[in-house]
Amino acid sequence: MVKDSPAKASDPAARSSTNGNVNGHADVVARAIEDNRHLAGALLPILHAIQDRLGFIPPDAARRIAEALNLSHADVQGVISFYHDFRAAPPGRHVLKVCRAEACQAMGAGALEARLKARLGIDFGQTTQDGSLTLEPVYCLGNCALSPACMVDGQLKGRVTADRLDGLLATLEGKS
Amino acid sequence: MTAKVYVPRDSAACSVGAEETAKAIARVAAERGLEVDIVRNGSRGMFWLEPLVEVATPNGRVAYGPVAPEDVAGLFEAGFLKAGAHRLCLGPTEEISYLKKQERLTFARVGVTDPLNLAEYEAHGGFRGLRAAIGMSAREIVEEVVRSGLRGRGGAAFPCGIKWRTVLGAPALPKYIACNADEGDSGTFSDRMIMEGDPFLLLEGMTIAGLAVGATKGFIYLRSEYPDAERTLTAAIAAARAAKVLGDDVLGSGRTFDIEIRRGAGAYICGEETAMLESLEGKRGMVRPKPPLPAIEGLFGRPTAVNNVITLASVPVILDKGAKYYADYGRGRSQGTLPFQLAGNIKHGGLVEKAFGLTLRELLYDFGGGSASGRPIRAVQVGGPLGAYLPESRFDTPLDYEAFAAAGGMIGHGGVVVFDDTVDMAQMARYAMEFCAIESCGKCTPCRIGSRRGVEVIDHIRAGRKPAANLALLRDLCDTMTHGSLCAMGGLTPAPVVSALDHFPEDFGVSPSGKVS
């Protein structure tokens, strides 16, 4: 059972070691609640703490958080579902967020997006069959003078041409 | 002697290899037995030149860029540590015309200093505004900001001092400062550059705001898309607490102010101030009806000054140099400077801080150098996804809040997104509706349902199904959204749609004479 692992939040290894481990999930949720419940408006910090560790919000987390914060289950579930960031299922080993916003569109993001989906065989919000990569849309990464932009495992990339994107994917495939 | 080299740590610079370039410089210097002090500064905001490497010389800093890791050996060969000639040499940084023509008040330190070096921050004028504020009464601080003419830089352009006056006058306690760092507009990155490139400036501005309105606690609502800004701000807050800038004895004044970062979760609507307050309270980011104003009943029902990053970051210079100094920049009721952001299909994209009053054309061509593709610029969207698309005939409009509004535009947060002549404006209009459908909080019907119907109607028009009837329907729908929505999300989504229809009818299958084909 993984307990209080010091591994970094964004480290995919930290996620996979707890994936599928119900007790591990429960510990992470309990810890996130304990660390943040003293905050005013604690719900988002708790959810972030869970997703930082697990990569998603496990289905049983809402009820536990609701009990701890004296909220209704519906309140917590409603917050989880409102925000684009929170995932209901574990992501792939890598997460690629592609910017769809106007500045990136002006530099060919649309074609890049289509090429990427075709190459990976998945749509936004999906994970490749081998579990290596989750593709997500994002609406502006604040890198609009170096469009098109994307974010790979939390790392910002700019001037993402088709060639550069192929290179990024090849690097990720090498890693996973 | 140890040479001093600057390589930006700004996430945009790193997105095109600044990290690798910095490592290559350290490696080659070690191989050559040279001592190099690599300072990781903010970005100067000339992104087409990133990674921009600077070398300190007795005559000031000299710039090289864009420097890829494979260029580094050649730079050492050319003696760049002593400003040696090289094809990437751009001369003295301050003499680069893009920078030289700017009026950097808010961005004075960005790209110049190490963002997390507190001593350097002070040496470059940091905390002078806060020290001045400590010697003033709350009322005096507020009136100084009123006199400066500073208006909200997040988009709505409401006079900052007037808002603070309301919060100061509200009797309930405690009061809060809520910094809106949910910079979601496409084409904008000035908040990010401040938070990554001069974070103490934001902390100083928030602390002054706290003294002005009587708040002892501030929150920074930071979008999750900015992980580097979160790391930098977290480190800056820790350093400011350690140096007793933040805490229960602000700079030895006996006054209390502290700041907490709260991460958003990918909802554009949380950039709307009341949705942001809901989110800070741990709820869904649903827009609140106004009144009550947040200044009277804001965060947790308490009086709250909600201000954008750039607004707060503009306050220290006002307190340091006086309201008149700031107000002397700009024109009409648009006083001071605005950090414009040139983005999209533009040759020289980046940050341009100028006094209000320059024209869009100056920004696009004198600074931007035209499109990146080399093709004619056809449309420009100013003010984010809720801003109008402007054709070339509007490029001579001066960039001040009133003049720009009179020309059918909105300056907003100062983002300028450029499109060349390959753009399909009907597609962009569709995207505006699609974006609204994705990001609507769902509270009011015109926004929630109208945006979905908008996508469908535009699809019908583009497919040539009953175009005349559907064009009339689209305008009618836009009218409903404009006048019936609760906030600017639904209320302004029609701006890009209607402007695309008005200025680029041919993209919707309508001839310029108005005839539907």
Measured from the Cβ of residue B393, the count of other Cβ atoms closer than 10 Å reads 9
Average pLDDT of the segment spanning B359-381: 98
- Please tell me the pTM assigned to this model: 0.95
Average pLDDT, rounded, for chain B: 97
Residue A18's pLDDT is 43
- Closest CB to A85: pick one of B224, B351, B423: B224
Task: Give the chain A residue nearest B372 (alpha carbons).
Answer: A107
Min Cα distance B324 → chain A (Å) is 32
H/E run at residue B354: strand B350-355
Residues 60-119 of B with CB under 8 A from A: none
- Closest CB to B225: pick one of A44, A138, A145: A138
Size of interface A-B (CB pairs under 8 A): 156
DSSP string, B236-298: HHHHHHHTTSSBSSGGGSS--BEEEEEE--S-GGGGSHHHHHHHHTTS--PPPPSSSPTTTS-
Antiparallel, parallel or unpaired: β B415-420 and B377-382: antiparallel
pLDDT tens by residue, B206-239: 999 999 999 999 999 999 999 999 999 999 999 9
Q: Are B182 and B276 in contact (CB under 8 A)?
A: yes
Average pLDDT of the segment spanning B90-104: 98
Min Cα distance A63 → chain B (Å) is 16
Residue A176's pLDDT is 60
Question: What are residue A126's phi and psi, to 5 degrees?
Answer: -110, 165
DSSP string, B473-489: HHHHHHHHHHHH-SSHH
Residue B510's pLDDT is 87
pLDDT tens by residue, A46-69: 999 999 999 999 999 999 999 999
pLDDT tens by residue, B162-188: 999 999 999 999 999 999 999 999 999
Does B423 contact A at CB distance below 8 Å? yes
CATH architecture assigned to B425-508: Up-down Bundle (1.20)
Residue B512's pLDDT is 67
Predicted confidence (pLDDT) at residue B205 exceeds the cutoff of 60 = yes
Residue A22's pLDDT is 58
Min Cα distance A97 → chain B (Å) is 10
Average pLDDT of the segment spanning B452-471: 97
Residue A24's pLDDT is 82
Predicted confidence (pLDDT) at residue B3 exceeds the cutoff of 60 = yes
Q: Are A135 and A124 in contact (CB under 8 A)?
A: yes
**Domain range annotation of chain B:** 3-100, 118-327, 330-420, 425-508
Residue A3's pLDDT is 32
Min Cα distance B249 → chain A (Å) is 22
Predicted confidence (pLDDT) at residue B363 exceeds the cutoff of 70 = yes
Residues 123-162 of B with CB under 8 A from A: none
Residue A14's pLDDT is 43
Residues 360-419 of B with CB under 8 A from A: 372, 381, 385, 415, 417-419
Tell me the CATH number of domain B118-327, given options 3.40.50.620, 3.40.50.11540, 3.30.465.10, 3.40.50.2020.
3.40.50.11540
Residue A6's pLDDT is 35
pLDDT in tens, chain A (176 residues): 333 333 334 444 444 444 445 568 999 999 999 999 999 999 999 999 999 999 999 999 999 999 999 999 999 999 999 999 999 999 999 999 999 999 999 999 999 999 999 999 999 999 999 999 999 999 999 999 999 999 999 999 999 999 999 999 999 888 76
Paired tokens of B9: 């740590």
pLDDT tens by residue, A149-167: 999 999 999 999 999 999 9
Q: Tokens 């809901």 appear where?
A: B278
Specify the fold of B3-100. Answer: Glutaredoxin (3.40.30)
Residues ≥6 apart with Cβ < 8 Å to B475: B498, B501
Buried residues in A49-65 as b, exposed as e (16+ CB within 10 A): bbbbbbbbbbeebbebb
Q: Is the peptide bond before B291 cis (omega within 30 degrees of 0)?
A: yes
Task: Give the chain B residue nearest A149 (alpha carbons).
Answer: B15
Residue A2's pLDDT is 33
CATH architecture assigned to B330-420: Roll (3.10)
Residue A5's pLDDT is 35
Q: Are B295 and B305 in contact (CB under 8 A)?
A: yes
**Per-residue confidence at B414, pLDDT binned at 50, 70, 90?**
very high
Average pLDDT of the segment spanning B337-341: 98
Contact A107 B372 (CB under 8 A): yes
Residue A1's pLDDT is 31
With beta carbons under 8 A apart, name residues in chain A contacting B279.
Answer: 44
Antiparallel, parallel or unpaired: β B377-382 and B389-390: antiparallel
**Rounded (to 5) percent helix, strand, coil in chain A:** 50, 10, 40
Q: Rounded CA gap, B326 and B335, in Å?
A: 7
Residues 39-58 of B with CB under 8 A from A: 47-48, 50
DSSP string, B415-444: EEEEEETT--HHHHHHHHHHHHHHH--SSS
Tell me how far the alpha carbon of residue B25 is from its chain's centroid.
31
Q: Tokens 């920004």 appear where?
A: B363
